[in-house]
Amino acid sequence: MEGGVCQIIGTIMITNGTSLISFQQILFYTESTERRMHMLMIRDIRKDDYIAIDRLLLQLHRLDVAGRPELFLYMEHYMSRESFESLVGNKDVLTILAENQGEILGCCFVSFFERSGMVSMKTAYIDMIVVDEKHRRNGIGNALFQAVQKRAKQMGARRIDLMVWNHNQIAIEAYESYGMRPQRCVYEKSLS
């Protein structure tokens, strides 16, 4: 992790009567121009987090629009509230966020699958991981990734995969710092 130390200080399980909610408190120290301490809470995304999560996903989408304007279109919302709620309510999708004093700083959506024709193993696929642009390079992405690793193992996954566009060099550097390695290449050729 760049510029800091992260320590998980506990996992807390809370029941609200109908479902079990879990979150981790993570103590994170950054080394920057001024030393400061962040108390991050990693928790499951709730349906009432839609507005904050949509704002984060639009930040990621704007990077894609800028990097590949011939492929990506500007959108007012990255996903509809209905699509968001169906993901958050799906027990086969891991949806977590990083929060500090009520401010949502990052989020991650993970689906699980097994591929036919390959060695049988459950794979956690990170569909999206994004950290608020004002808080990048402070270890929040790493904290989310560490939480995904832990939860994916608990859910029986034996590996984590993700896809990243070549124009997102900051993300590529982060993923490699988490121990991820390139797996395959996807090529394209325009026919226009």
> Would 13 be classed as within a structural domain?
no
Q: Per-residue pLDDT tens for 148-164?
A: 999 999 999 999 999 98
> Would 12 be classed as within a structural domain?
no
pLDDT at 42: 96
> Would 15 be classed as within a structural domain?
no
> Would 83 be classed as within a structural domain?
yes
Q: How confident is the model over 167-182, as a mean pLDDT?
A: 90
Do you know the residue count of the chain?
192
> Would 165 be classed as within a structural domain?
yes
Q: Is 108 exposed, middle or buried (0-12, 13-18, 19+ CB in 10 A)?
A: buried
Q: Per-residue pLDDT tens for 128-155?
A: 999 999 998 889 999 999 999 999 999 9
- From 46, 39, 49, 47, select the one nearest 7 (Cα to Cα): 39
- From 153, 169, 164, 166, select the one nearest 121 (Cα to Cα): 153
> Would 79 be classed as within a structural domain?
yes
Q: Phi-psi region for residue 102, left (φ > 0), alpha (ψ -120 to 50) or beta?
A: left
Domain count for the chain:
1
Task: Report H helices in 40-189.
Answer: 50-67, 81-88, 140-154, 169-177
Query: Which domain covers residue 117, as residue numbers?
Result: 43-177
> Would 148 be classed as within a structural domain?
yes
Q: What is the CATH number of the domain that holds 166?
A: 3.40.630.30
Task: Say what the pTM is.
Answer: 0.76
> Would 183 be classed as within a structural domain?
no
